[in-house]
Amino acid sequence: MEMKIREIKTILTSPGRNYLIVKVTTENGITGYGDATLNGRELAVQSVIDNYLRDWLVGYNADRITDIWQMVFRGTYWRGGPVFMTALAGIDMALWDIKGKRAHMPLYSLIGGRCRDRAAVYYHAHGTKRDELIKRAKEMIKTGIKAIRYSFDIKDMHDQNVFYRQPHQDIKIKRIETDAIKNEGMWDSEVYIKNLLETTQELRNAVGTSMELIHDVHGRLTPIQAARLAKELEKYSLYFLEDPVDSNDKNGLQLVRNNSSTPIAIGELFNTIFDCEYILTNRLVDYIRVDISHFGGITPVLQISNFADVHSIKTAFHGPSDISPFAHAANIHIDLSIPNFGIQETFETDAVLEDVFDLPYCYKDGFITITDRPGLGVGFNEEAAQTYRYKKRYLPILRDDMGSVHNW
Distances (CA, A) of 249 to 60, 109, 273: 39, 37, 16
The backbone region for 41, taken as left when phi is positive above 0, alpha when psi lies in -120 to 50, beta otherwise, is alpha
Catalytic residue among 19, 108, 122, 164: 164
Catalytic residue among 218, 363, 390, 394: 218
- The question of whether 239 is a catalytic residue gets the answer no
- The question of whether 19 is a catalytic residue gets the answer no
Q: Name residues whose C-beta falls within 8 Å of residue 245's C-beta, 6 or more positions apart in sequence.
A: 217, 219, 221, 222, 223, 226, 252, 253, 256
∠34-35-36 over CA atoms, to 5°?
A: 120
**Strands of 5-13's sheet in order across:** 5-13, 19-26, 31-35
Asked if residue 196 lies in contact with residue 229, where contact means CB atoms within 8 angstroms, the answer is: yes
Distances (CA, A) of 252 to 222, 230, 243, 247, 255: 8, 13, 11, 9, 5
- Give the N- to C-terminal CA distance of the chain in Å, as an integer: 49
Q: Name residues whose C-beta falls within 8 Å of residue 332's C-beta, 6 or more positions apart in sequence.
A: 119, 344, 361, 368, 369, 370
DSSP symbols for 174-199: -PPP---TTS-EE--HHHHHHHHHHH
Asked if residue 381 lies in contact with residue 355, where contact means CB atoms within 8 angstroms, the answer is: yes
Q: Can you tell me whether residue 29 is helix, strand or coil?
A: coil
Please list the helix, strand and coil fractions of the chain in percent, rounded to the nearest 5, in that order. 40, 20, 45
Distance of CA 43 to the CA centre of its chain: 19
Catalytic site positions: 164, 218
